């Protein structure tokens, strides 16, 4: 009887060992990686600047929300453990849906500068009103030949997001901007802008959360064309 009881206990212990869960090692959050610099954090977005020298890589990290990547300059990089090798011109915005664990490697001969935006709402490309494989989105031009032009083009739009590419010539001012609420302002160029008499300098690779109406009347007082991407979360 004692032998039988010992066998039962031994068998039970073996089964328990087989079904015991194996701890899963959790990858660090992006903000724990020195290549990631937190720019903006609120309920709508969490935006980071990803800065890598040629050949440099981030550590393995996890994103738990849908992601937008904005190339502030020409970019050629690999998402190791994800989509593989990507090539993006300056100003391109790419959407990556679902939680993901990856690292980023700069495959180019010049520094990589990406703004990575974790979205506070799920992003469903199938719900696109325009862009992302649906009909082309619209845009508008303002200004004059003597004062320069203000041009915006909607890259894509869903019921929760609108993403717009904006250029403003020197001496021109923005008009009739299509954003109805607050949005993320991502400069693609160094620029000097005037709003209601106050002049502010912006550098490429920054990001700012701005109020509704911020762009209307915004004048480019610099010597070069100003360009930025705006991401509205509705």
- CB under 8 Å to 18, separation ≥6 — which residues? none
N-terminal to C-terminal alpha carbon distance within the chain: 71
| C-alpha span between 178 and 140 (Å, rounded) | 9
Please check the confidence at residue 166 and state whether its pLDDT lies above 60.
yes
Smallest CA-to-CA distance from 203 within 185, 187, 220 is with 187
In the prediction, which pLDDT does 28 show? Answer: 66
SS3 state of residue 11: helix
Confidence band for 14, pLDDT divided at 50, 70 and 90: very low
Average pLDDT over residues 94-110: 93
H or E, element range at 47: strand 45-52
Query: Domain 30-123 adopts which CATH fold?
Result: Jelly Rolls (2.60.120)
b/e map 131-167, b = 16+ CB within 10 Å: bbeeeebeeeebbeeeebebbbbbbbbbeebbbbbbb
CATH class of the 127-233 domain in this structure: mainly beta
pLDDT, tens digit (0-9, with 9 covering 90-100), for 28-59? 667 678 889 999 999 999 999 999 999 999 99
- Could you tell me the pTM of the whole model? 0.84
Q: What residue ranges do the domains of the chain occupy? A: 30-123, 127-233
Given CA atoms 219, 221, 227, 230 in this order, what sign does their dihedral have?
A: negative
Confidence band for 141, pLDDT divided at 50, 70 and 90: confident
């Amino acid at each position: 009887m004692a032998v039988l009881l010992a066998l039962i206990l031994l068998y039970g212990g073996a089964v328990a060992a087989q079904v015991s869960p194996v701890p899963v090692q959790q990858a660090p959050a992006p903000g724990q990686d020195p290549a990631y610099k937190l720019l903006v954090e609120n309920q709508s977005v969490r935006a980071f600047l990803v800065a890598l020298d040629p050949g440099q890589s981030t550590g393995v990290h996890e994103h738990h929300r849908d992601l937008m990547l904005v190339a502030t300059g020409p970019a050629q990089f690999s998402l190791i453990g994800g989509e593989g090798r990507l090539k993006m011109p300056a100003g391109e915005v790419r959407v990556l849906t679902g939680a993901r664990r990856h690292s980023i490697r700069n495959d180019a001969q010049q520094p990589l500068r990406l703004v990575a935006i974790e979205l506070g709402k799920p992003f469903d490309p199938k719900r696109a009103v325009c862009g992302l494989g649906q009909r082309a989105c619209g845009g508008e031009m303002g200004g004059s030949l003597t004062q320069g032009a203000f041009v915006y083009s909607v890259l894509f739009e869903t019921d929760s997001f609108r993403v717009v590419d904006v250029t403003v010539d020197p001496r021109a001012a923005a008009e009739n901007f299509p954003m109805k609420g607050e949005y993320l302002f991502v400069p693609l160029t160094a620029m000097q802008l005037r709003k209601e008499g106050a002049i502010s300098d912006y550098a490429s690779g920054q990001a700012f959360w701005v109020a509704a109406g911020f762009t209307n009347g915004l004048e480019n007082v610099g010597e070069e064309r100003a360009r930025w991407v705006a991401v509205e979360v509705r």
